[in-house]
Amino acid sequence: MPLEAPLPAASERAKELNARYRHHGARDILAHALNDQLTGRIAMVSSFGAESVVLLHLLATLDRTVPVLFLNTEMLFEETIDYQRQVAEKLRLTDVRVITPNRNEMFLEDNEGLLWQKSTDACCDLRKTRPLEKALSGFDAWITGRKRYQSGTRAQMDLFEADGESRIKVNPMAHFTPETIREYMENNNLPRHPLVTKGFASLGCAPCTSRVRDGEDPRAGRWRGQDKSECGIHFENGKMVRTPVAQSGEVF
C-alpha cells in the first residue's frame, strides 16, 4: 500500500484554504475543514464554556464522530464538568476525549495544587499547554472557537492559521459577534452553562475565575488583577499571547 504524500507546510496550507473559503459562512467553513485534504487529520478543542455550545452544535450538524478534545485541568468548576457531559449527550457527540495533566509532572511540579498562587503562567503550562500539545500530536489541524471581536490581537485573525510548521488552526466562528452567538443559542434551544446566570461571563479554572460585575468586560473575571488574559494554548510567532485583561469571549 503506497504511503500518503506529506502535507505541505502549515503556512502554505493556511494560505490556500483562506483563499478557497474566505467568503464562506461558519457552517460551510467547518464543513470544508472536515473534508478538505489540506486540513488532514482534524480535531476540535472545546472548553465547554460559556459560548462553546455554538461551535459544538455546528459540528454535531455535520459529523458527530469528529474527535472533541476537552481539557480537564482538574481545577475546573464542577458545573463545567457536569455541563460537558450534558452537552455531549444532548448533541450525541461520539468521540469526546477528556485530556488531563500528566500525573508525574503534576507530582513533581504541583503536588499540593497551589502552583497557581505562585505563577498562573506555570500552572497553565502544566495543566493546559503541555497536555493539549500531546493530545494534538496526532492531528494536522484543530478547530477553535476564537472570534475576532475578542481582542486586538485577534481582530485580523484568519479563518485558517498556521500553528507551528506542520499544524493549522481553523477558526470558523472568527466573524461571529456576541449578538450572533446569543441568537444562535436561542434559535437552536441550546443549554447555557449554569454559571453564566450567576455572573460568570467567561469560564476557566475555578481559582482564577471570578464573577463579572455590572458594566465590566466579560473577560474581566479571568485572572483578575493580573496582566494576563490567555492561558497559553494560542501562540503567535512562537510566543504566548499577551493581551490586555479587559477582553471578551473565551480562550478556546
CA torsion, ordered 72, 70, 125, 11, to nearest 10 deg: 180
Residue in 124, 205, 208, 231 annotated catalytic: 231
H helices of the chain, in order, are: 10-21, 26-35, 52-62, 78-91, 103-109, 115-118, 120-124, 130-135, 178-187
DSSP label at 91?
H
Cα distance from N-terminal residue to C-terminal residue, the chain:
38
Q: Which residues pair with 46 in a beta bridge?
A: 70
**CA 138 – CA 141 distance, rounded (Å):** 9
Catalytic site residue 231?
yes
Grid coordinates belonging to 54: 455554538
Query: Which amino acids are annotated catalytic?
Result: 231
